[in-house]
Amino acid sequence: MSTHPRPRIGILGAGGRMGRTLIEAVWAAGDGLQLAAAVESPQHPELGRDVADWFASPPSGVVLAADWSADAVDVLIDFTRPEATLASLRQACQSGTAMVIGTTGFDAEGRRALDAATARIALCESGNFSLGIHLLQRLVREAAATLGGDFDIEIVEAHHRHKVDAPSGTALMLGRAAASGAGVDLEARAVYARQGHTGARARGSLGFSTVRGGDVVGDHAVMFLGDGERLELTHKASSRMNFARGAVRAAQALAGKPAGRYGLDDVFR
């Protein structure tokens, strides 16, 4: 794959809410990027339509398609579903096309596939691409390291009624940050559900609570609850554009990079 002076971006799941926001973010990035492909499922009713129609803009020359060409795309951005993302990942590995992945809800097998792909392509994968969440992770890690075992840690997240995975990928990111700061294993300490007679809270556990409803873009709070005091670190997203801008910034950072896993520290320099 050759990288053009203006990296060519392909958006997977382009017809969805996040896909359309990503298209806007690519255009907003200006001359540094070009939208090269907008991809949807073969059954999508708007295949063949110029994506500029959605925004009442002049024709862009990019039509919604059921596939993408490695000859026309330098970096793919994918915020779809795990099964669709993994299929695209296999195709990207064959062509050497870099990928930015914001899809969440991967199972253990899916995560192994993501790890294996880093030997073939440049990959940036995250449960959240907003700058605010990136900073929040650092704060959570520091708070957990400072407060240690004296405070209980709870993570509360809220999303719109259409979100299908829980806890959110962002909540899990924050859980990993808290566990890292506290020096514990998240999977050994995580509590994802409480119902009935649960008994007293286990010392050192990390609790997750999930809210689904309305059109909430994404709210996350990490609570450190001690005796006589409580610290809450909160992030509230009011627009998907926050995530889209970060993903587009990641695409710019990946263009032309060798195979490997790239984190948000590589993006938000």
20-57 confidence digits (pLDDT tens): 999 999 999 987 799 999 999 999 999 999 999 999 99
Please give the structure tokens belonging to residue 209.
Answer: 């609570």
Q: How far is CA 44 from CA 39, 40, 67, 212, in A?
A: 10, 6, 12, 26
Q: What pLDDT does 1 receive?
A: 47
CATH class given for the domain over 131-237? alpha beta
* Whole-number Å distance between alpha carbons of 119 and 116: 6
Tokens of 96: 């050497």
Q: CB burial class (10 A; 0-12, 13-18, 19+) of residue 68?
A: buried
Long-range contacts of 263-267 (CB under 8 A, 24+ apart): 263/124, 263/126, 264/124, 264/126, 264/129, 264/134, 266/124, 267/124, 267/129
Which listed residue (163, 197, 235, 257) is catalytic? 163
Residue 163 annotated among the catalytic residues of the structure: yes
**Burial code of 162-182, b = ≥16 C-beta within 10 A, e = fewer?**
ebebbbbbbbbbbbbbbbbbb
- In terms of DSSP H, where are the helices of the chain? 17-28, 82-95, 108-117, 131-147, 169-182, 186-189, 241-254, 264-267
Domain spanning 8-125+241-267: CATH 2.40.128.20? no
Contact 207, 153 (CB under 8 A): yes
d(CA 253, CA 183): 31
Q: What is the pLDDT along the chain (269 residues), one digit of tens a residue?
A: 445 678 999 999 999 999 999 999 999 998 779 999 999 999 999 999 999 999 999 999 999 999 999 999 999 999 999 999 999 999 999 999 999 999 988 999 999 999 999 999 999 999 899 999 999 999 999 999 999 789 999 999 999 999 989 999 999 999 999 999 999 999 999 999 999 999 999 999 999 999 999 999 999 999 999 999 999 999 999 999 999 999 999 999 999 999 999 998 888 77
Residue pLDDT, tens place only, 225-262:
999 999 999 999 999 999 999 999 999 999 999 999 99
Q: Which DSSP helix (H) or strand (E) runs through 261?
A: strand 260-261
**Tokens coding 25:** 């973010």
**What's the alpha-carbon Rg for the chain, to the nearest Å?**
20
- Show me where the domains of the chain are located: 8-125+241-267, 131-237
Q: Assess whether 257 carries a catalytic annotation.
A: no
Q: Which is catalytic among the residues 134, 159, 220, 235?
A: 159
User: How many CB atoms within 10 Å of residue 205?
Assistant: 14
Identify whether the C-beta of residue 97 lies closer than 8 Å to the C-beta of residue 121.
Answer: yes
pLDDT at 267: 81
**Composition of the chain by helix, strand, coil, percent to 5:** 35, 25, 40
Residue 103 φ/ψ, nearest 5 degrees: -65, 145
Q: Cβ–Cβ contacts within 10 Å for residue 199, how many?
A: 7
